Each structure stands twice: as C-alpha cells, then as structure tokens.
Amino acid sequence: MEELVRYMAESLVDDPESVEVREVRGRSGKVLELRVADDDMGRVIGKGGRIVNAMRSLVDVAAEQKDTRVRLDVVD
C-alpha cells in the first residue's frame, strides 16, 4: 500500500524527494500518513479535494483486494 501512495504522490509533486509515507496503527486498521513539501500540498489535495479523494478511492480498492482496512491521511 505504501508503495502505491508513494508512486501516486511522487507523480504529482515537483519535489518527489520530499514525499514521505508512514504507516501507523489506527483503531479501525492501518493509517497511511502522507507528507509532502508545503509548496506541493495543493497539488496532492487538488481543487476541492478531488485528487486526494481519488487517491483514497484507489487505496480503498487495493486494501479491499487484500481484505484489510486502510485510511489515507495527508499530514502537514
């Protein structure tokens, strides 16, 4: 899952070296925390949150195939 999120984020941002994905345990499953440079935050979130919601949908599909629950959070 982390590799998928990293690939999507690095494809969107101007500074791919600043992309960090960290997995933490949440109450209802895994939580993937995505961090990018401040200048790239808008590129990852998108207008009205469309890009980040699309990324979350892809993560949901990939997690469902593995019978797990994963949530994607973009962190400052």
The pLDDT tens digits of the residues spanning 4-20 come to 999 999 999 999 999 99
The whole-number pLDDT of residue 28 equals 82
pLDDT of residue 3: 95
| Segment 26-72, tens digit of pLDDT | 788 899 999 999 999 999 999 999 999 999 999 999 999 999 999 99
- With a CB cutoff of 8 Å and minimum separation 6, the contacts of 20 are 33, 34, 35, 36
Residue 76 reports pLDDT greater than 90: no
pLDDT at residue number 29: 87
Report which residue type is found at 15: D
CB-neighbour burial class of residue 72 (10 A; exposed 0-12, middle 13-18, buried 19+): buried
The pTM for the full model equals 0.91
DSSP 39: G
Short-list 44, 42, 41, CA closest to 7? 44
